[in-house]
Amino acid sequence: MKMVLHDITAIAGPDEHCPEFRAGLEELGWQVLGRVRLATHDEIVELMENYDPALAPALLEKELTGTTVLRERDGTSFAFVDWFFRCPFTRLMTLLDDGRLVETHETWTSDPVEPRRGWASRALFDRRREQTRSATRGRSIVLVDDPGPAELVRAHREHVARVVGDAGASPAPHISLAQAMDLFDHQLRHGVAVGRRAASLTGLLTMAPLVVLYIVLMQVIPWGTDGEFAVLPYLLTSIGGVALVVVLGRWLMLLLLPPVGYVRAIRPAFRGMAPVGTQ
């Protein structure tokens, strides 16, 4: 699925996510800018084919609803009112004029719904660490458990103040839906880069030892008797060994991908985009 945001403000569709949270933000002075969606209708329908048919209709309706976008009255933050599978999920974001991104998230209260292929292990999955796996140099993410609108806004302001500190940075102007979409798209693409880095390193960590072990075994196993080399057993064992390395390597990669992704030191830095007010 292509990662292309679409402005669906003018498109009639299912009811919005978490209207009470959106209304609470409006009572605090936030202004609704519109609704956005990460994919077209057809792309979302195709994506749902990967999920349990019993769950797909509900997931489809949720995905088609899109995300409600608001801006703070003083133009220092954007809010994205959304859902995460079975739970509400609102994010507040502030881009600083030095290019750093500050995010305060409503904590997930449920795990992702697994695609039909699933994951190799749930034991190594950590919900809170998964939600903050994109936090790195230039991008700060803080979670707030079960907040109301006022609590989330207050936590975000405190978060921004801590990040700014004595560095002299300040929030860039946050004005339009187009600017919010640019910021949302930028942080999504950074999240994809984080995932790819983790997948690459996990693949290296799992496949390299298996390949070395395969080569060593092929060298030490006797292939024949009385000095004669047995070609057919060698070929069959070679093919079987390659298949075993591939299957075992893929299983280990799926098993180890979550914990490797939780290592902050390996994540690519968030490359500051131009402040939203200058685009």
Cα(270)–Cα(93) distance, integer angstroms = 14
pLDDT for res 275:
54
Q: What is the pLDDT of residue 279?
A: 46
DSSP helix, strand, coil percent of the chain (3-state; round to 5) = 45, 15, 40
pLDDT at 121: 56
Alpha helices (H) along the chain: 19-27, 41-48, 56-65, 127-131, 149-164, 177-220, 231-261
| 53-92 burial: b if 16+ Cβ within 10 Å, else e | eeebeebbebbbbbbbbbbbeebbbbbbbbbbeeebbbbb
The tokens 């290592």 sit on which residue?
263
Q: What is the pLDDT of residue 244?
A: 74
The domain spans of the chain are 6-197+265-278
pTM, two decimal places: 0.81
Q: What is the pLDDT of residue 66?
A: 87
Distance CA 228, CA 231 (A): 9
For the chain, which residues score pLDDT lower than 70?
1-3, 12-14, 41, 113-123, 166, 220-237, 273-279
Span 86-117, pLDDT tens digits: 788 999 999 999 999 999 999 998 877 665 55
C-beta contacts of 193-197 below 8 A and 24+ residues apart? 193/268, 194/133, 194/134, 194/136, 194/261, 194/267, 194/268, 195/133, 195/261, 197/266, 197/267, 197/268
Q: Which two tokens stand for residue 24?
A: 């609470």
Decide if 90 contacts 156 (C-beta within 8 A): no
